[in-house]
Amino acid sequence: MSRRPKLICFDWDGTLIDSVSKISLAIVEAGVSMGYKRIHPQKIEGRISIPFEMLITGLYGDLDLELFIKTYNEIVLDLPPARLFPGALELINRLKHAFLLAIVTNKSRQLLVLELRQHKLQHSFHSLWVAD
C-alpha cells in the first residue's frame, strides 16, 4: 500500500504570496480612515496568521468590526497585487499534475479568489478553505 499523499495544503499569505506588507498597510490605512491612531505596520506583521477579527480587535480594541472589514476590503482592493514568492508558481505548476492542492487561509474567499485570478492560479487548487 502506497503512503504517498493525495492532497497538499498550503497557507497563502506569507507562504506562497508575499502579501504581509500589503495586508499590514491596508489595516493601518483602514484604522486611520476610521479615526484611530496610525500604528506601525511591524506591530501587525507578526500577527498576520491569527484570525482577522482577533487581529483587528487586538490592535484597536472594541470597534465596529463590520465597518472596519468593509473599509479594509475597499483599501486592499485598490492596492497593487502582491507578488508570489520566487519559485512558488513553478512549485504549484509542478505539483498540480501529481497531487490535489488546497489553500487553507484566514483570508476572505473574495480576496483569495481575486489574488488567484491575478496570478492565473484560479484553476490550480482543488479546494479553498477560507475564513468566511
Query: What global pTM score does this model have?
Result: 0.84
Q: Which residue stretches of 1-132 are H helix?
A: 20-33, 42-45, 52-60, 65-78, 88-95, 109-118
Residue identified by cell 502579501 is 19
Contacts of 73 (CB under 8 A, 6+ apart): 108, 110, 111
Q: Give the up-direction half-sphere exposure of residue 57: CA atoms within 13 A in the CB hemisphere.
A: 10
DSSP type of residue 50: S
**∠ CA 102-106-110, rounded to 5°:** 80
C-alpha cell at 90: 513553478
Length of the chain: 132
pLDDT tens over the chain, length 132 residues: 568 889 999 999 999 999 999 999 999 999 999 999 999 988 898 888 888 899 999 999 999 999 999 999 999 999 999 999 999 999 999 999 999 999 999 888 999 999 999 999 999 999 999 988
